[in-house]
Chain A
Amino acid sequence: MQWLVLVLVVVMLTSAVAVLVLKDFLAALAALSVVSLGLSVLFVILRAPDVAMTEAAIGAGLSSLLFALALRRLGLWRNGGRP
């Protein structure tokens, strides 16, 4: 179980750094939802299935959808983020 947590934390930290570094906004969005997904698995390991469901539905699903729609509205979703 310790190993799983370690792998998850490394994946989450890597994708959190990738959110900052990536030039393409949509790719950064995908990396952001990877962070949320890893967090929801961590919640399952901590025996909090309620919170894990909320994190998976809202953090990984709905908020990335909202971000994508906002990027579309602002014209930042194509051409690697250059308007």
Chain B
Amino acid sequence: MQRLSSALFLLGLGLLIAAIFRGMEFGTVAPIVGQAINSAAAEQVGAANFVTAVVLGYRGFDTLLELTILFTAATAGGMVLGKRSPTAKRDPDAGFILQAGADLLFPLLVIVGLYIILHGHLTPGGGFQGGVILASAFFVPILARPGTRMSHTAVSTIEGLAGASFIFIGLLAMFGGEAFLTPLMGQGELGALLSAGSLPVLYLAVGLKVGSELAGLLAQLSESEAVD
């Protein structure tokens, strides 16, 4: 009976997906909103990367909610999996090659992450991608030396400050009489590093928040005791 209902469910799902994809061609899009944004974003927002113009300019509130969802998921994951009994033994340090590799990788990953965050309004990438790279950069030393502890107060302080500054920049626009999260500070020259108003600052906040959140989650998970 259960198998029959599963098969019926799969059949229905397959029909639904097939019906959706019948009208779509691979690699072509139906440009309705896209064309309007492509023609207006450079003037209205001033970001050379139009994806950033959408993510932070036109849809900044969605990004705030995305950050909230990520925060909730990271908190729940840490609560469920991050337990540790005080007597549990720690993993031994890794070998020489992994330790030397971690020391080499750490500064490179930090630079790449910061570059992607700070150039989010010019080139592909931005706060989320750069934040994930920052988080993995700060996890690499823990992978090589499991005995070292990441300061959870520092991580949560950075995370809280970054999240608060994102909302604060949004509120600043409201004090100026605009809508929440309207880009501020003028647009500057299209394609320059200091352009697109407050968008780079917002992306820096997003990157620091995502990075510290995920680094804290990874560190907490790796500190949890392993079941052998």
Residue positions of A touching B, CB distance < 8 A: 5, 45-46, 49-50, 52-54, 57-58, 61-62, 65-66, 69-70, 72-75, 78, 83
Known: A49-B124, A53-B124, A62-B136. 8 other contacts (CB 8 A): A46-B27, A49-B125, A53-B116, A58-B128, A61-B136, A73-B225, A74-B227, A75-B228
| Contacting residues, chain B, for A66 (C-beta < 8 A) | 77, 217-218, 221
A76 closest partner in B (C-beta): B227
Q: What residue of chain A has the Cβ atom nearest to residue B129's Cβ? A: A53
Pairwise interchain contact B224-A73, C-beta atoms closer than 8 A: yes
User: In terms of DSSP, what is the predominant structure of the interface of chain B?
Assistant: helix
Say how far B190's CB is from chain A's closest CB, in angstroms: 18
Type the 1/0 row for B123-140, where 1 means its CB is closer than 8 Å to any CB of A: 011101100110110010
Q: 0/1 per residue, B199-228, Cβ < 8 Å to A?
A: 000000000000000100110011011111
Bound complex: CA A70 to CA B77 (Å): 10
- B residues less than 8 Å from A72 (CB atoms): 222, 226
Instruction: Determine the distance from Cα of A75 to Cα of B49 in the docked complex, in whole angstroms.
Output: 44
Q: Count the A-B residue pairs with Cβ separation under 8 angstroms: how many?
A: 59
Chain B residues positioned under 8 Å from A46 (CB to CB): 27
- Given A54-B129, A57-B129, answer yes or no on A75-B221 (Cβ-Cβ < 8 Å): no
Would A58 and B132 count as touching, CB distance under 8 A?
Answer: yes
- B57-95 residues with Cβ-Cβ distance < 8 A to A are 77, 81
Contact (Cβ within 8 A) A57 B133: yes
B218 touching A65 by the CB < 8 A rule?
yes
Neighbouring A residues of B136 by C-beta, 8 Å: 57, 61-62, 65
Given known contacts A70-B81, A83-B227, is B221 in contact with A50 (CB within 8 Å)? no
With A73-B226, A73-B227: A50-B124 Cβ-Cβ less than 8 Å: yes
